[in-house]
């Protein structure tokens, strides 16, 4: 798997899991599925950072989204 693809998938999965965690806590239930999704997203982001030499800077993240979208939607 490409590190940019892993970064984008990890950020999307992690981003979607945050509202699920908040919803579970506000309903008084355990956020099991959301916590698993958050760990998977975090693991993908950590893996992507470790695979690219020098890691990613904050300004590289939008470039990674555009690169992945252009590569797979074209």
pLDDT tens for each residue of 58-68:
999 999 999 99
Q: How many domains does the chain have?
A: 1
Q: Is the pTM of this model over 0.85?
A: yes
Q: What is the pLDDT of residue 5?
A: 95
Residue 32's alpha-carbon distances to 7, 9, 16, 65, 66, in angstroms, are 23, 20, 14, 28, 32
Enter the tokens of residue 62: 């939008």
27: its two tokens? 């309903």
Q: Render pLDDT for 19-55 as a digit per residue (tens, 0 to 9).
A: 999 999 999 999 999 999 999 999 999 999 999 888 8
CA 69 – CA 65 distance, rounded (Å)? 6
Q: What is the mean pLDDT of the chain?
A: 93
- Residue 17 is part of which domain span? 3-73
């Amino acid at each position: 798997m490409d590190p940019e693809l892993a970064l984008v998938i990890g950020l999307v999965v992690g981003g979607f899991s945050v509202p699920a965690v908040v919803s579970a806590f506000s309903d008084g239930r355990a956020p099991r599925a959301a916590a698993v999704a958050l760990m998977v997203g975090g693991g993908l982001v950590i893996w992507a950072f470790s695979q690219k030499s020098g890691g990613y800077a904050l300004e590289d993240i939008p470039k990674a989204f555009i690169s992945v979208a252009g590569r797979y939607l074209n």
